[in-house]
Amino acid sequence: MPLPDASRLTSLGDERWRALGQRLSSIGVSNQTIANVTRPIERVAYELRGPLRVMHLRKHATEAAWALRLFAYGDPVTEREARAVLGDDLFSGLAEIGAIETVETSWVSPFLLTLHADLYVFVDDLTHGDDAVMGSGSSTLALSRAAVPSQRKATALDFGCGAGPSALALARQVDHVVGLDINPRAITLARVNAALNGIDNVELVVGDMFEAVRDRRFDVIVSQPPFVARHEGSKASTYLHGGARGDELPMRVLAEAPKLLADDGVLVTWVEWPELASDDLTARLRSGLPSRELDLLVLRGPRVSTQVHAAGYAAAEHPLLDEAFATDAEARLTHFERHSVIGVRPTITVVRRQNARASGFDATIDVRGLEAIFPSRLRVDRFLAAHTLLQGDDAALFAAKLRVPKRTSFVEERDTPSPEAPPTFFARFSDKAMVTNYPLAHDSFLFLSLVHMSESAAAAAAFVAENWNVTIDEARQKLAPHLRSALAHGALEIG
């Protein structure tokens, strides 16, 4: 099925698109509404949830349910139901520009409405192929949360903005946002979505790579570049493929985007990086950066096997899971083997420019599933602050006020019931924390507890010196490696 015509969408005018957004909000189209429909089917296989959502929505004779069927799930509604959702003026306007169309005697939108947090975002149905514009999935939401600054900033760039979800999220905390994409269709949909949400501080630009913004500088750059490996015989896709191995285009972003950062500016990307048997991922990313002064923070999710990755993307192309699915999955696996890819790592990669420093740090933190536990920008900034502190000397370390993250438990475990067996200690973080559980030596367990309760690490060292009958220098020598290790892992943060 060909892509629907998007050329007439902007002719509806910003005011009427804004009116549609206000109307959807007023009738209760929200993530909570979707969650209420989804809750009974949470344990059902992901591939089956779409049809079951529609089944549940059909049981509800409400304007919100009709709107979700009309726009979000491709399930036609009657003209009476569509007019109840939209009103006569919007119904006529959307029909005239092809944003809703007839299917026999019913009405449905050829575009898909997604929710990016509380933002309404129209995208394409990717089964239409060609240069379809992707929606906002869990990875895009994770990226936005990690990138949107906690304090007001002046400028931001969303590179490869697609339909604009991250650009629109940034616009609430940034004075002026530029959304850049090579696909004119994406920019058209992004303009519609900006109007739909009543956002007017986003500039949308069609351009290849960074040429259109080469002379600008940004406080925040966000990007989710195409990162899927293109295997032999597959049709090229603008929004999907990052090169033969998958990381070629993302590596270009790492090489070029930092040049556009203002001082203290931050680049945040979401990429599923291919892991190679022959090298270290963080070292490969560092080698692609344009200068040594940049800080590199890699929040690395659990490895996804090539089998799972290949099957997932093949299933998206062939949802019937037929012979074509098996052939595609096998071709992807063979392609990975040819390029020595042993797995795929979902990561949020953060690059920061600080011109006052001659050499930046490299830090890798293993985190839980990034698409389930979304890191906030505040959490990212705390990781950056911790690793900046680690670059300094012990004087700076002991001057700092350090805290164990909230809702952390110290746990003692024994492998055997024997009281003589040495216990194992862990810092066990809450289910909502990003970092994985952290093993502790017995001294680390004591020192982290002590530092957490002290006004500074220096005060903790003074307590150790007084109570262990050692000099202050000896106390600091005991404490420092434990504090540095805990800061690097995320088991301590600057208070």
Residue pLDDT, tens place only, 358-384? 789 999 988 876 666 677 888 899 899
User: What residues form DSSP beta bridges with 109?
Assistant: none
Given a cut of 60, whether residue 433 has pLDDT beyond it is no
The most confident of the ranges 202-206, 243-247, 304-308 is 202-206
Given a cut of 80, whether residue 228 has pLDDT beyond it is yes
Given a cut of 90, whether residue 237 has pLDDT beyond it is no
Average pLDDT for residues 409-435, to the nearest whole number?
A: 66
What letter represents residue 99's amino acid?
A
Q: What is the pLDDT of residues 421-431, one digit of tens each?
A: 677 776 766 65
Q: 19 vs 10, 97, 108, 135, 204, CA distance in Å?
A: 14, 16, 19, 22, 21
pLDDT score, position 405: 82
DSSP letter for each residue of 267-278: EEEEEEEEEETT
| pTM, full prediction | 0.89
pLDDT score, position 135: 78
Higher pLDDT, 478 or 49: 478
Query: Which H/E stretch holds residue 153?
Result: strand 153-159
159 by Cβ neighbours in 10 Å (0-12 / 13-18 / 19+) ranks as: buried
pLDDT score, position 20: 97
Q: At what angle do helices 248-256 and 281-288 cross, to 10 degrees?
A: 50
**Residue 313's pLDDT band (cuts 50, 70, 90):** confident
Determine what percent of the chain is predicted with pLDDT higher than 70: 90
**Runs of H (alpha helix) within 42-164:** 46-58, 63-67, 79-96, 138-147
Q: Tokens 């992807």 map to which residue?
A: 332
Determine what percent of the chain is predicted with pLDDT higher than 90: 56
Q: Which residues of 310-333 are buried (b: 16+ CB within 10 A; e: fewer)?
A: bbebbbebbeeeeeebeebbebbb
Query: Which H/E stretch holds residue 435?
Result: none
Average predicted confidence (pLDDT) for the chain: 88
Given a cut of 90, whether residue 410 has pLDDT beyond it is no
E-assigned strands of 304-423?
A: 341-352, 362-366, 402-403, 409-413
CB within 8 Å of 240: residues ≥ 6 apart: 226, 228
Given a cut of 80, whether residue 143 has pLDDT beyond it is yes
Long-range contacts of 69-73 (CB under 8 A, 24+ apart): 69/108, 70/100, 70/107, 70/108, 70/109, 71/109, 71/111, 71/112, 71/113, 71/122, 72/34, 72/112, 72/113, 72/114
Tell how strand 295-300 and strand 409-413 pair up: unpaired
Average pLDDT for residues 107-128, to the nearest whole number?
A: 90
Least confident of 16-20, 75-79, 433-437: 433-437
CB within 8 Å of 489: residues ≥ 6 apart: 365, 435, 438
